[in-house]
């Protein structure tokens, strides 16, 4: 098994230890096993390719070598369970900002806003560029560990996506006509992610929702939401303090805790 290790000096000198593999079934599965064997928080697992990368609702995350950045972070935050959603929302915000900066650096006229599709996707030009999968182990109503798994489409050409995703997915290469080095991108994301997650905990996650709302895709638009086998329609009004979606249906506003926006 091919493994490379490097350490990043993070926020307040808290180390971030990256384990880089050539090939794994899933960085989330590997991180989960390591968390169960007591790996410390801010241990990061990344891989050039995943043979069984997975997304939300057990969907497959297509993970060919070198095209995407695939990584998982072990976290052990001592937080109230009602704030769990804040972790993936913060991760989405950090990656959103880095993508937006890169797009603007390459093209100052860049007219593509990078948006957040509730709960976890990042969109550019209406197409998905990043997905986030947060898995958790809760013991006695406390977090034992979280696995924050992130997949970012960096170097895909259109034909590199499976046929069924070619209309709905994009990559940084498709948008900038450049190749992006996966480890460099990871080294940029991790310190920022660590800093924000630590500061958020200190601040009781006060700013996450405010910031998330600024970039929320489909705000004030009617959308269809798939919840298990059901589908409901409504107008997106925003996000509540715990990260749930506020959906207006006639005179009523419903709070949606889980589901997928079908648009
Ligand atoms: C989604 O959009 O449904 C979430 C996709 C998450 C994919 C990442 S890639 C790295 C990590 N390992 C996995 O198996 N999944 C996540």
Is any ligand 1 atom within 6 A of the Cβ of residue 61? Answer: yes
Q: Across-strand partners of 135?
A: 147
Instruction: Spell out a b/e string for 148-172, using b for 16 or more CB atoms within 10 Å of the CB, else e.
Output: bbbbbbbbbeeebbeeebeeebbbb
- CA angle 241–243–245, rounded 5-degree value: 105
Residue of 45, 61, 153 with the most ligand 1 atoms within 8 Å of its CB, for mutation: 61
What does pLDDT average to over the chain?
A: 95
Is any ligand 1 atom within 6 A of the Cβ of residue 59? Answer: yes
Contacts of 11-18 with CB under 8 Å at 24 or more apart are 11/191, 11/194, 11/195, 11/198, 11/199, 12/198, 14/42, 14/194, 14/198, 15/42, 16/42, 16/44, 16/190, 16/191, 16/194, 17/42, 17/43, 17/44, 18/44, 18/46, 18/186, 18/190
Specify whether the CB–CB gap between 227 and 254 falls below 8 A. no
Closest approach atom of ligand 1 to CA 128: 2
User: CA-based Rg of the chain, rounded to a whole angstrom?
Assistant: 18
What pLDDT shows up at residue 1?
A: 63
Specify whether the CB–CB gap between 23 and 51 falls below 8 A. yes
Residue 224: which of 262, 169, 172, 190 has the closest Cα?
262
Is any ligand 1 atom within 6 A of the Cβ of residue 149? Answer: yes
Is any ligand 1 atom within 6 A of the Cβ of residue 50? Answer: yes
Residues 242-260 pLDDT 10s: 999 999 999 999 999 999 9
HSE of 262 in the Cβ direction (CA atoms, 13 Å)? 14
Strand-pair category, 252-256 with 245-249: antiparallel
Residues 162-184 pLDDT 10s: 999 999 999 999 999 999 999 99
Residues 193-206 pLDDT 10s: 999 999 999 999 99
Q: Is a pLDDT exceeding 80 seen at residue 109?
A: no
d(C-alpha 197, C-alpha 44), whole Å: 15
Closest approach atom of ligand 1 to CA 121: 2
Cα(53) to centroid of ligand 1, in Å? 6
d(C-alpha 86, C-alpha 96), whole Å: 15
3-state secondary structure of 242: coil
- CA angle 81–82–84, rounded 5-degree value: 65
Residue of 133, 136, 153 with the most ligand 1 atoms within 8 Å of its CB, for mutation: 133
pTM of the predicted protein model = 0.96
Is any ligand 1 atom within 6 A of the Cβ of residue 68? Answer: no
Specify whether the CB–CB gap between 62 and 39 falls below 8 A. no
Specify whether the CB–CB gap between 131 and 120 falls below 8 A. yes
d(C-alpha 28, C-alpha 69), whole Å: 13
Residues 82-108 pLDDT 10s: 999 999 999 999 999 999 999 999 887
Nearest CA to ligand 1 atom 14: 53
């Amino acid at each position: 098994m091919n493994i490379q290790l490097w350490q990043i000096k993070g926020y307040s000198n808290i180390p971030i230890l990256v384990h880089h593999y050539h090939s794994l079934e899933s960085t989330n599965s590997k991180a989960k096993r390591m968390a169960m064997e007591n790996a410390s928080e801010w241990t990061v697992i990344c891989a050039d390719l995943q043979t069984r990368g997975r997304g939300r609702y057990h969907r497959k995350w297509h993970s060919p070598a070198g095209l995407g950045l695939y990584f998982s972070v072990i976290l052990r935050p001592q937080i109230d369970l009602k704030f769990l959603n804040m972790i993936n929302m913060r991760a989405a915000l950090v990656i959103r900002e880095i993508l937006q900066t890169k797009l603007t650096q390459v093209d100052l006229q860049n007219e593509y806003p990078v948006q957040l599709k509730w709960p976890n996707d990042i969109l550019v030009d209406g197409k998905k560029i990043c997905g986030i999968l947060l898995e958790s182990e809760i013991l006695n109503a406390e977090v034992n560990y979280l696995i924050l798994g992130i997949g970012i489409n960096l170097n895909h050409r259109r034909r590199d996506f499976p046929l069924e995703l070619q209309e709905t997915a994009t990559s940084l290469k498709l948008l900038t006509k450049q190749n992006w080095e996966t480890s460099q991108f990871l080294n940029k994301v991790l310190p920022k992610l660590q800093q924000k997650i630590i500061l958020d905990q200190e601040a009781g996650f006060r700013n996450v929702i405010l910031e998330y709302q600024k970039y929320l895709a489909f705000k004030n638009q009617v959308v269809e939401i798939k919840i298990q086998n059901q589908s409901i329609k409504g107008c997106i009004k925003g996000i509540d303090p715990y990260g749930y979606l506020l959906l207006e249906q006639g005179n009523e506003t419903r709070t949606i805790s889980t589901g997928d926006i079908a648009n």
